[in-house]
Structure 1
């Protein structure tokens, strides 16, 4: 009888823990204040050498992939479901997509409108229709905008190992 009670209590506590962890969805809390870091620490050297998204675009025109680069720009959107991606605005009002390395960290939605330095790898990549639609749904685009996505698109993809909020 004691074994049965013990087994049942473990099963119930496991179920309660699983339900609580499922409800924990959503981006992490936080105000994204200047100096806040998400993921790996951004070195002072990388912060000083950070290039603009426009310069990154020019570098990628020469080489389709660049590793260990720092880019500074303004965040325009953050995944509302988990904080697992963001978009960065370029000087000519275009945007590029940023994922977190190995899905290893997430960012708060308070990052929208803030200037950041990203450190990581960048590449030009062809994005499938399905993937574009997935991210459009995450961004809560209208069904009309989602349905308008009908062909693969080449765009800059950045995989950030670290993100720092800056002035």
Structure 2
């Protein structure tokens, strides 16, 4: 019994560590995911224009903007504000990397694919819970919402 417990304890500790966002303060030059460069990054206004004029399902782009919020649980998503004051949700390709929660408020470059998506009430409530919003705000979510989603393959802090 003691041997089994000694084997399970490191496994449990590993799971707890895995569920945490990366440590760090997201300093200038820090990169997450694939290595990317800042040169040629579009503004969020330019991205919005490309999305509205595109007939494709998704628009590949390198964009630059300020992070509004990040998943407080493990850094698995972040949000940015678009020119029309809507929020763009950013997830990370294949759930392959996370960002530190200290990235909120920082200017970053993202590379990946942007898409328009109708987001369900359940998904909106899930993200509100992840963001640790008040229960009253979560309960107020009653209708699906059209959002811009960005799947990033890399993030670079400026």
Measure how far apart 1:28 and its partner are: 1.0
Note if contact 2:87-2:147 (Cα within 8 Å) is conserved in structure 1.
no
Answer yes or no: is 1:52 the counterpart of 2:46. no
- Once the two structures are superposed, the pairs formed by residues 64-75 of structure 1 within 5 Å of their partners are 65-75=57-67
TM-score normalised over the length of structure 2: 0.91
What residue in structure 2 maps to residue 81 of structure 1?
73
Measure how far apart 1:90 and its partner are: 2.8
3-state SS of 1:120 partner: strand
The partner residue of 1:34 within 28, 31, 40 is 28
Measure how far apart 1:17 and its partner are: 1.7
The 10-residue stretch of structure 1 (107-116 or 62-71) with the greater mean CA deviation from structure 2: 62-71
Which of the two has higher C-alpha Rg?
1
Note if contact 2:112-2:152 (Cα within 8 Å) is conserved in structure 1.
yes
For 1:155 and 1:72, the matched residues in 2 are separated by: 18
Measure how far apart 1:103 and its partner are: 0.5
Measure how far apart 1:91 and its partner are: 4.0
Aligned length: 156
Query: What is the Cα-based RMSD across aligned positions, in Å?
Result: 1.6
Aligned pair in 2 of structure 1 residues 116, 68: CA closer, same or farther (>3 Å)?
same
The partner residue of 1:62 within 28, 53, 77 is 53
Note if contact 1:75-1:88 (Cα within 8 Å) is conserved in structure 2.
yes
For 2:83 and 2:7, the matched residues in 1 are separated by: 50
Answer yes or no: is 1:139 the counterpart of 2:135. no
3-state SS of 1:141 partner: coil
Between Structure 1 and Structure 2, which shows a larger proportion of helix residues?
1
Measure how far apart 1:22 and its partner are: 3.0
Measure how far apart 1:92 and its partner are: 4.7
3-state SS of 2:39 partner: helix
3-state SS of 1:145 partner: helix
